[in-house]
Amino acid sequence: SKSNGTNGYEFYSEELNQEIIEFAFLEQELKKAIENETIQIFFQPKYNAKSESFVGVESLARWTLEERGVISPSTFIPIAEKSGLIVQLDQYILKKACIQFKSLIEEGYDLKGLSVNFSQLLFYHDHIVDFVLETLKAAELSPVQLEIEITETIAMYNTAYTLNILNELKSHGIRISLDDFGTGYSSISYLKVLPIDCLKIDKSFINDLIVDKQSDALVITLISMANILEIDVIAEGVETIEQAEFLFKHHCYDIQGYLYSRPLPLEEMRTLLQQGSSR
Ligand code: C2E
Ligand code: CA
Ligand code: CA
Ligand code: CA
C-alpha cells in the first residue's frame, strides 16, 4: 500500500516511515538502556540565598547511545512517555537517585532534599505510593527528604484520583513541587485545592528577565502568588547575576541554574559540594 499513491502521497509516506522507524529504534534502545541500567543520573543543585548554600539537588536523566552520542531528554522523555517506558524509567531514576543522594548525606553534606521528576503516567501505575515509600525505605531516607516535581499538566488532570495520590504522598511528608510554573493553565483557585509545597517558576520567564518588562512583572506576580498561597517558590534556569539579584530583591531566595551549576554526575556534584557554594 506504500507504493500506489501519488508522488505527494509517496513522499509523505516516506517521511512518515522514517519517523516511525526512528521512533521504534530509539524506543527499543531506550528499553535496553533502562534494563541494562545505562541511563545515567545527573544532579543539579538548588541554591538558597539566605543560607548562601546548596540546599538540595534535582535528579535529571542522561542517556548516551554509542552510535549516536548524547540523546537529549527533550527527545527521549517524550518517546518514553508515548511508549509507556517512562514508568520503568522514572522508577529506575527514583531508586538510583535515592541511593546516590543517601551517599551524599552519609558523607556529611547538609542537603535538605532530593527532587525527582515524575511523569503523569506514573500516577496511574498501581501501588505508586507504596513503591515510593519502599524505595525511600530501601535507601534509608525519610519521606521528608523527597520532593516530587510534577508539571501543571498532571495537576490539570485534577481528578479525585490524582488528588488522592498527591494527598497520600504528602501525608507521609513527601513534598510536592509544581514544575514549569506559569506555562500551563493553573489558576489560583486550582492551586488552593492541590497539595503543593513549592512553585517552580519556568525558565522561559527567567530567561527574559530584565530585558523584557513584561517578564519582570510576570515573575513578580508569580512570586506573590506563591506568597499569598503560603507556598515556597524557586526559580529555574537562572544564568546571570542580574537575574539572581532581581529574584532576591523580589523575595525569591531559592534558585537553580547554570549561574551556580549545570547538572553534574555524582562525582562532580561531590566536588562542587566540597568547594561549597561560594562563587
Ligand atoms: P525540567 O524538569 O524543567 O528540568 C530543567 C531543565 O533545564 C533541565 O534540562 C536542565 O538541565 C535545564 N537547565 C537547568 N538550569 C538551566 C539554565 O540555567 N539554563 C538552561 N538553558 N537550562 C537549564 P534537561 O536535563 O535537558 O531536561 C529537560 C526536561 O526533561 C526536564 O525539564 C524534565 O521535564 C525532563 N526530564 C529530565 N529527566 C527526567 C526524569 O528523570 N524523569 C522525567 N519524567 N522527566 C525528566
Ligand atoms: Ca524538574
Ligand atoms: Ca522545569
Ligand atoms: Ca521544563
Each residue of 18-49: pLDDT tens digit?
Answer: 889 999 999 999 999 999 999 999 999 999 99
Residues in the chain: 279
pLDDT at 279: 46
Q: What is the pLDDT of residues 201-246, one digit of tens each?
A: 999 999 999 988 999 999 999 999 999 999 999 999 999 999 999 9
The reported pTM is: 0.93
Q: Give, using CA atoms, the residue closest to atom 28 of ligand 1.
A: 73
200 Cα nearest atom in ligand 1:
3
The answer, yes or no, to whether any atom of ligand 1 lies below 6 A from the CB of 90, is: yes
239-265 per-position pLDDT tens digit: 999 999 999 999 999 999 999 999 999
In angstroms, the CA 156 to CA 186 distance is 7
Provide the pLDDT for residue 48: 97
CA of 68 to the centre of ligand 3 (A): 26
Dist. CA 133–CA 172, nearest whole Å? 9
The finding on whether 115 has its CB within 6 A of some atom of ligand 1 is: no
Q: Ligand 1 pocket: which of 59, 70, 77 to mutate (most atoms <8 Å of CB)?
A: 77
Region of 142 on the Ramachandran plot (φ > 0 left; ψ -120 to 50 alpha; else beta): beta
What is the pLDDT at residue 17? 87
Contact in structure between 32 and 85 (CB atoms under 8 Å):
no
Report the distance separating Cα 263 and Cα 61, nearest Å: 10
Q: pLDDT-derived band of residue 151, with 50, 70 and 90 as boundaries?
A: confident
| pLDDT mean over 174-189 | 83
ipTM over 0.95: yes
How far is the C-alpha of 147 from the C-alpha of 118, rounded, in Å?
10
Nearest ligand 1 atom to the CA of 86 is: 44
Query: In this model, does residue 58 exceed pLDDT 50?
Result: yes
**Ligand nearest to C-alpha 121:** 1
Q: CA dist 155 to 26, 176, 220, 243, Å?
A: 29, 11, 22, 28
Whether 142 contacts 178, CB under 8 Å: no
pLDDT level of residue 182 (50, 70, 90 thresholds): confident
CA distances in angstroms from 41 to 68, 90, 123, 230, listed in the order given:
19, 11, 21, 32
